[in-house]
Chain A
């Protein structure tokens, strides 16, 4: 009958094993941290990709909008009417009605926010359309409250020549301090 006696490892081997275990234990947290850093870097990359994609989408949307506008309103026939307000203390804008060659094309009601935006220097694109080359007549009727809070309605007419290029018309509401009255003037650009 034989009995096996468990043999002890040599002292040197035991020391090596202990050192290895210690090393592994110490290295473990560093390993986790490295993984976490890697994961964070990965997330950052994904986030950057998403942001880049969003930017591309915005750019694409802008290009499509331009393309659509160029197709629907080519420069050869394009007419745009803008509205701006300079000071405007004598006139509280309520609505603007636009007629082109006797046909109503826009009737725009202004909310308080929109009027405030115009007073802060905003310029509104009131109308965008197509017209053939030649002479045309634009009539703008402004409605609102005039001096002393009275109901105020004023029309302004402009005749313009539409040439081959795009035509821009700006309607401006300004104050005529000498008469304490609002003034409505029209500027044109080619």
Chain B
């Protein structure tokens, strides 16, 4: 009788362990794709990419190592993106040190992107991500998305949905590169 109880308890314990393992494995399998495509958080390395700019030159993010980079994802149909682009331009134009701005347009039509760049008079490279591969890499959910990347290629700040004011960008750039 006692040994039967003991066996039953052991069987239940084993069943509980197996269930817990199965749940953990399932949760891991479900969460992995989400984590794998998560946007780079502050402190993470900015994923490298290469895109053509609007003048047809290829630009690679890792070639800007050594400079502080303001990376802005935008699209022509996004109103607040215009302010974000102007802020990024103003923040790097104000600097004497090495800081660059890069815009990544998610427009499929290069002409639309070019017309926005022309109307805003942007002086920094605007890259075209027509296939949205870089947008997926950075998990762009909301526009505009601005990332501040330090000299070592690490993301230090991100701002989504709202354009970040130029003064805020300048303050953060100064903290990184006094």
Contact = CB atoms under 8 A, between A and B. Distances in A.
Real binding pair: yes
Interface of A: 94-95, 108-114
Interface residues of B, number: 8
B50 interface: yes
A112 B57 contact: yes
B157 interface: no
Interface of B: 50-52, 57-60, 63
Tell me if A's interface is mostly helix, strand, loop or mixed. Answer: mixed
Nearest to B59: A111
19 contacts: A94-B58, A95-B58, A108-B50, A109-B50, A109-B51, A109-B52, A109-B58, A109-B60, A110-B58, A111-B50, A111-B57, A111-B58, A111-B59, A111-B60, A111-B63, A112-B57, A112-B58, A113-B63, A114-B60
B145 to A, nearest CB: 22
A112 B60 CA distance: 10
Contacts of A95: 58
Nearest to A93: B58
Q: Which of B50, B51, B52, B58 has the most CB of A within 10 A?
A: B58
A157 to B, nearest CB: 25
A122 B61 CA distance: 20
Contacts of B63: 111, 113
A95 B60 CA distance: 13
A95 B52 CA distance: 11
Q: Which of A109, A112, A114 has the most CB of B within 10 A?
A: A109
Contacts of A111: 50, 57-60, 63
A70 B74 CA distance: 41
Contacts of B51: 109
A51 B59 CA distance: 36
A5 to B, nearest CB: 73
A109 B51 CA distance: 7
A112 B63 CA distance: 10
A113 B63 CA distance: 9
Contacts of B59: 111
The 4 closest A-B pairs by CB, nearest first: A109-B50, A109-B58, A111-B58, A111-B60
Contacts of A109: 50-52, 58, 60
A108 B51 CA distance: 10
